[in-house]
Amino acid sequence: MSEISKIALFTNEYPPHVYGGAGVHVEYLSRELSRLVPVEVRCFGAQDVTEPNLRAKGYGAWSEAKVNTDPRFGGALDAMYRSMAMAKDNLDASVVHCHTWYVQFAGFLAKKLWGVPFVLTTHSLEPLRPWKVEQLGNAYHLSTWIENNGIMDADAVIAVSKETRADVLRLFPIAPEKVHVIHNGIDLNQYRKTTAVDALVSRGVDPDRPFVLFVGRITRQKGIIHLVNAIPDIDPSIQVVLCAGAPDTKEIGEEMAARVAEVSANRPGVIWIQEMLPRDQVIQYYSNATVFCCPSVYEPFGIINLEAMACETAVVASAIGGIPEVVVPGETGLLVDLELKPGTFDPVDPARFSRELAAGINAVALDPAMRAKFERNGRRRVEDHFSWTAIAERTLELYRSL
């Protein structure tokens, strides 16, 4: 195996601009890798960070991306522009590692320009997110091409779950030996149970009453509308706390608002927090929740379930994607079966899915013995299998093999 002089990580999200699981992944992976080798991060934004063994540089937006065109094209066109800027800058790394389609063109170009191995991590796959047409318009076909081009030219593809690896091999004509499974991880010191409740009280959540918690963006993928539709069947003694912001489109934001208003009119105790909360406050919500619910219809891994389990919270989640590799049914939570219409991410029976989510939430929330078992086992499972230290070492081993 070769020695590594430096790692270059290319990413859309990097602190302080983190809005999803991929950004969390890059934040912690870069930190852990920098304890082993020098790391350079190139990201979207105005970041300028210099720490021991870690340098992060932001690349600004293209001001012309939405000018004289369909504004929905802006995100994909801007990604192409920033990718070219990232790739053309002098690069002295041994490996370039890209995260999400936004920067896969940068990795493709860097491989050609600088002659370095190109690795990418699939946090999600564009062919499995057809609803992105709502957000990107026909630029969805551009993002799909960028991803396809990256996967086919990469020297190694990292899938965040076994299920995602199977999806990559099903959707792309790529050699199986090039696709590796390395799970997401969790900072065990940061994500741990806290007794603080000030973040709850300040937003109207009663910490002395049970509550079910959702944390995530308002997007088709996260299935939040199915949880909202489940609210009428959730025991009225249980508060419903939705930490849900950053809607993918204006339309899905309006749909969410209308449905929350409708269910709230007939049931007290529904609290919708529409801003993305800072991490220390989210940890308070995880720690004090009676149940954490992940109703995703597409989830390659589901890092939010790890976060909840690390804070000793029982989980009720859909049995989809990589979630069953994280949540062990009957041990750390309950999984709800989800059958999707062929070729879509629409449940065959959405009303049934919502009812079964509610039944799972009620079962856990109203059974203290079951809940205590899930809480205890969840933390232990995270400690045993998902530390960032082990994940960084496995990633570095893959780099060396190239």
> Which pLDDT tens digit goes with each residue over 103-147?
999 999 999 999 999 999 999 899 888 878 888 899 999 999 999
Residue 65 lies in a domain: yes
Query: For residue 1, is pLDDT > 60?
Result: no
Q: 10 Å Cβ neighbour count for 147? A: 23
pLDDT at residue 240 tops 80: yes
Per-position DSSP letters for 305-353, written without gaps between them: HHHHHHTT-EEEEES-TTGGGT--BTTTEEEE---B-TTSSSBSSHHHH
191 part of a folded domain:
no
Residue 358 lies in a domain: yes
130 & 232 share domain: no
Cα–Cα distance, 36 to 21 (Å, whole number): 23
CA distance 177 to 267: 53
Please give the pLDDT value at position 277.
92
Extended strands (E) in 172-249: 179-181, 211-217, 239-245
- Residues 269 and 342 placed together within one structural domain of the fold: yes
- Please tell me whether the peptide bond between 236 and the residue prior to it is cis, using omega within 30 degrees of 0: no
Query: Do the domain assignments include residue 318?
Result: yes
* Alpha-carbon span 368 to 290, nearest angstrom: 10
Residues 368 and 391 in one domain: no
Domain assignment present for residue 266? The answer is yes
Are 258 and 327 part of one and the same domain?
yes
Same domain for 162 and 237: no
For the chain, the domain total comes to 2
Q: Are residues 272 and 136 in the same domain?
A: no
pLDDT value of residue 2 = 63
Helix 74-88 to helix 139-153 angle, to the nearest 10 degrees?
A: 30
Would residue 2 count as lying in a domain?
A: no
- pLDDT above 70 covers a percentage of the chain that reads 100
Q: Is 1 helix (H, G, I), strand (E, B) or coil?
A: coil
Within a domain: residue 227? Answer: yes
Q: Which domain holds residue 54?
A: 7-185+387-401
Question: Coil, strand or helix: which one is 256?
Answer: helix
Tokens 């809940």, residue? 371
> Based on the domain organization, do 229 and 208 belong to the same domain?
yes
For residue 218, the domain's CATH number is 3.40.50.2000
Question: Are 381 and 391 part of one and the same domain?
Answer: no
Does residue 38 sit in the same domain as residue 168?
A: yes
Who has greater pLDDT, 98 or 128?
98
Q: Is residue 204 part of a domain?
A: yes
Strands 270-273 and 48-51: unpaired
0.85 exceeded by the pTM?
Answer: no
177 lies in the same domain as 208: no
141 shares its domain with 221: no
Residues 293 and 366 in one domain: yes
pLDDT digits 0-9 by tens, 367-395:
999 999 999 999 999 999 998 998 999 99
